[in-house]
Chain A
Amino acid sequence: MFFAGMIGAQAFTRILRIPTPLLMAAVVVLALVGSYAVRGNPFDLLVTCAAGVIGYFMRLNGFPTAPVVIGMVLGYPLERSLRQGLVLTDLNFFAFFESPLALLLFALTALLLLWPWLSARWRRRGAAP
């Protein structure tokens, strides 16, 4: 990286002059090739296009798209661990809170979710002593 930066800095500045339409067209082609090549299934192209449209409307309305991907990646292990855990505890979800490590993580999650509400409360108390 270091050497590339040293030698290429001049060349890289030229890339900034490529017209945007050409660039965007290239991105579309590469994106479609990429999603098709994963398993050579044309259906994946439809999925890609649908995801693109959904992503566009999400961005338009101020929804972040990164959590969708993370949710999708974590969805399967999340479900599997939940189901395995339930098998271990004979379908008793409350037994999940008996593991100290899990309890700590659940507590952190709760704190994270309640944080906006808590900080607003503290601020109000600080403003009116």
Chain B
Amino acid sequence: MEYLAPAFSLLATPATLIAVLIGTVVGIVVGALPGLGTVVALTVCLPFTFSMGQAPSIALLLAVYCSSVYGGSISAILINTPGTPQSAATCLDGYPMAVRGEADLALGWATAASVFGGLFSLVVLVLAAPQLAAVALQFGPIETFALLVFSLTCIAWVSRESVVKGLLAGTIGLFLAAVGPDPMSGDIRFDFGIFQLSAGLQLIPVLVGLFALAEVFVRAAEPAPEGEAVVARVGFRLPPLRAWRPYLKTLLRSSGIGSFIGVLPGTGAAVAAFISYAEAKRSSPRGAAFGTGEPEGVIASEAANNAVTGGALVPTLALGIPGDAATAVMMGTLLLQGITPGVRLFVDNPDLVYAAFLSLL
């Protein structure tokens, strides 16, 4: 905790604060657009970080990461189309609320639950990541290898389609990583006589192509939707403090579920939101009203999908193993900035780590 003060001073510069503000707005906007998810939001922001210092660029990306998850819920509530897959569970109760004319209240609940979930997972991150890093300091190459094999299997396992396809996709990634110089001997592999390949493939171009461009191609191949979505102009209404009491248990439990699922490699916010929604529906006395515009459903999914962000950063920062595609982008940026996530990060740059944590606020 002695690093909190220097971390705070790193953060309190105008550049960093502006970065957080811009990141938040961009994240919400891109997240709210249907089809453009967290990963696209992050890749779009990437070029802007090159000219920034370490602290502002981390702050920018973290802000985008967290707020894009929240942005998805805006379109989920207003037009029944989740802006990001994570917000799919929010549609179930958010849209019925909007139909009833309570869209402003639904947005208020979603915002409040998102902030709560995000803060909760931040506490988990601050407490858990250094512990994990301390354990990982004792890892030799053999343990590291076992851990990496495990994480790779995890990500293939939770991919929505089939496990075999997930494993195959992971293998393609491993092959792409093998292009370039051999890490031990320096021999050039798989360059196919192309000079530019001899240095290896860069992560960012591949990533941007796979996510952002592929998304555009998929959209271009579909016929354009007829007519425009009807979007009502709505305000924003915070629920009165009194109304919070019955939902406190759901808030806490959903944040817990989200943080825990976020820490597991390969799982994502979409899974967390649905598990938390199902759990809240099962245990809540208002469970029967779920799906008809019950605020508790919005709270359950929003608190969980925002709590995932903090959780997913635990293995990324502490072990250098990203839990999902979004944290992989973050890690790519950290590497560009000359920061190597992993065990050493907590030893070498503790103030930077805590600055990153604080900027999540």
Which A residues lie at the B interface, using CB under 8 A? 1-2, 4-6, 8-10, 12-18, 20-21, 23-24, 27-28, 30-35, 37-39, 41, 43-45, 47-56, 58-60, 62-85, 88-89, 95-96, 99, 101-103, 105-106, 108-109, 112-113, 115-116
Min CB–CB distance A111 → chain B (angstroms): 10
Known contacts A72-B203, A77-B148; A58 and B214 CB within 8 A of each other: yes
Complex formed: what's the CA distance from A14 to B210 in Å? 29
Complex formed: what's the CA distance from A18 to B36 in Å? 13
With beta carbons under 8 angstroms apart, the residue of A31, A60, A64, A89 that contacts B213 is: A31
Do B143 and A101 touch (CB < 8 A)? yes
Do A5 and B75 touch (CB < 8 A)? no
Within 8 A of A (CB), among B98-116: 104, 107, 111, 114-115
Please name the residue on chain A nearest to B157 by beta carbon.
Answer: A112
Interface size class on chain B is 35 or more
B273 in the interface (beta carbon within 8 A)? no
Min CB–CB distance B29 → chain A (angstroms): 5
With beta carbons under 8 angstroms apart, the residue of A38, A60, A73 that contacts B205 is: A38
Complex formed: what's the CA distance from A31 to B154 in Å? 28
Within 8 A of A (CB), among B125-149: 139-149
Please name the residue on chain A nearest to B225 by beta carbon.
Answer: A20
Judged by DSSP, the binding face of A is: helix
| Most chain B CB atoms below 10 A, which of A28, A31, A84, A102 | A31
Min CB–CB distance A70 → chain B (angstroms): 5
With beta carbons under 8 angstroms apart, the residue of A2, A21, A49, A59 that contacts B111 is: A2
Hey, which chain A residues are within 8 Å of B150, CB to CB? Answer: 105-106, 108-109, 112
Min CB–CB distance B117 → chain A (angstroms): 11
Complex formed: what's the CA distance from A43 to B200 in Å? 12
Do B178 and A70 touch (CB < 8 A)? no
Do B216 and A75 touch (CB < 8 A)? no
A-B CB contact pairs (8 Å), 7 listed: A5-B28, A54-B214, A65-B210, A95-B142, A102-B142, A109-B146, A109-B153
Do A67 and B145 touch (CB < 8 A)? no
Please name the residue on chain B nearest to A77 by beta carbon.
Answer: B148
Known contacts A64-B159, A70-B155, A78-B174; A27 and B36 CB within 8 A of each other: yes
Do A59 and B218 touch (CB < 8 A)? yes
Do A48 and B166 touch (CB < 8 A)? no
With beta carbons under 8 angstroms apart, the residue of A17, A68, A84 that contacts B170 is: A68
Please name the residue on chain A nearest to B197 by beta carbon.
Answer: A43
18 more CB-based (< 8 A) A-B contacts, given A9-B234, A65-B210, A69-B210:
A1-B28, A4-B67, A6-B238, A10-B233, A10-B234, A13-B234, A16-B33, A53-B217, A64-B169, A67-B166, A69-B325, A69-B328, A70-B328, A71-B152, A85-B141, A85-B145, A99-B143, A109-B149
